[in-house]
Amino acid sequence: HFGIDLSFCCFLRFDETKEGEVVRHDGKRSDGYLEHIFKHAAKELFGMDVKEITYKALKNKDFQEVTLEKDGETVLRFAAAYGFRNIQNMVLKLKKGKFSYHFVEVLACPGGCLNGKGQAQTEDGKPDKALLNQMEEVYAAIPVRLPETNVRVQKMYQDWLEGVDSKKVQETLHTKYSAVNQTASNLDIKW
């Protein structure tokens, strides 16, 4: 089993955002939720304060792993899988029962969202690397604010979710996944 906790997601209404109020999460680009969740899990589950995380490229730069060790044992194993080929490989591992990750950050575009087709490109349709570097610099200059310190998120927990550890939080924001045996049909997609 592996689970997902969506409790740090929040909705920001841009019509109420004032200049200077734009903040970001950890990370250098469009990724970064992995970094925040990894640091938070290390602190909450193992009492470890992780300042910097190190990505280890596995098959390529768009499939990377982050681990936390305690007393010589790996206690957290996260992965970042960017691009459909890496996502397909991840799904195959999951189907074969060889999936050892507690959390996976998945982005469809190789290199992340800032590198995606919705961004500015050169005339030949290739990503504009100079613009990509400039966007990463601008993004990195925005101050980091942890989602759990956001007043709107705190108010949502208090008013709508009836507290941080409430039954409503468990029902609304947490889920568990497990393997399901399905009968094959001709319409199944084979990854």
By the 8 A CB rule, do 127 and 111 touch? yes
Q: Which of 116-125, 144-153, 182-191 comes out lowest in average pLDDT? A: 182-191
Mean pLDDT, rounded, for 62-73 = 93
pLDDT tens digit sequence for 11-42: 344 445 554 566 666 665 556 688 888 998 99
Q: What is the DSSP letter of 22?
A: -
Radius of gyration of the chain (CA): 19
Q: Which residue has the higher pLDDT, 135 or 162?
A: 162
Cβ-in-10-Å burial (0-12, 13-18, 19+) of 117 comes to exposed
CB of 161 within 8 A of CB of 169? yes
What's the CATH architecture for 51-112? 3-Layer(aba) Sandwich (3.40)
pLDDT of residue 179: 63
CA of residue 71 relative to chain centroid, distance: 26
Report yes or no: 147 and 156 within 8 Å, Cβ to Cβ: no
Tens of pLDDT, residues 48-60:
999 888 889 887 8
**pLDDT tens digit sequence for 105-136:** 888 877 666 666 666 677 787 777 788 788 77
DSSP H helical segments within 47-175, as ranges? Answer: 84-95, 129-141, 151-159, 167-173
Confidence of residue 180 (pLDDT cuts 50, 70, 90): low
pLDDT reading at 70 higher than 70: yes
What is the reported pLDDT for 34? 87
